[in-house]
Amino acid sequence: MIAQVECVALDCPDPKELAGFYLSLLGGEVDRTDRRWACDADWSTLHTPGGLVLAFQRVADHRPPGWPGQDPPQQFHLDFGVTDQEEAHEVVLACGGSVLDAGDEARGWRVYADPAGHPFCLVRH
């Protein structure tokens, strides 16, 4: 091993807003003091209860990924396991997320976009 994951950073137009969106879904602490970086108007973080750190960096000309198309390319997405998909669906919508692909009950996963347009999936466990 030569490295460790410190965080996953997502480009966006408003870092604090996107950190708040993911806080509503995952819990944790926004902009916790951390020796690895400084939080400001251009960089915000979410330390999740499971240990993962999501970081959000301001990009002035941010263009959300296209889904399911690739203009601009998706590049990566996050999968979140949920036990109650309907409840999770309602929380995502109430927090400003949107449905990209509602799928069907048999499939077990749905695709959403966060307020900055990044695709993510809610996967039923």
Where exactly are the structural domains of the chain?
8-58, 78-124
pTM of the model: 0.85
- Please give the CATH architecture assigned to the domain spanning 78-124: Roll (3.10)
* pLDDT number for residue 2: 65
Give the Cα separation of 66 and 51 in Å (integer): 29
8-58 is classed in which CATH architecture? Answer: 2-Layer Sandwich (3.30)
E-assigned strands of 13-97?
29-30, 43-47, 53-58, 78-82
Rounded to the nearest integer, the mean pLDDT of the chain is 91
pLDDT digits (tens, 9 = 90+) for 42-75: 999 999 999 999 999 999 999 999 888 888 888 7
Q: Is the pLDDT of residue 31 over 80?
A: yes
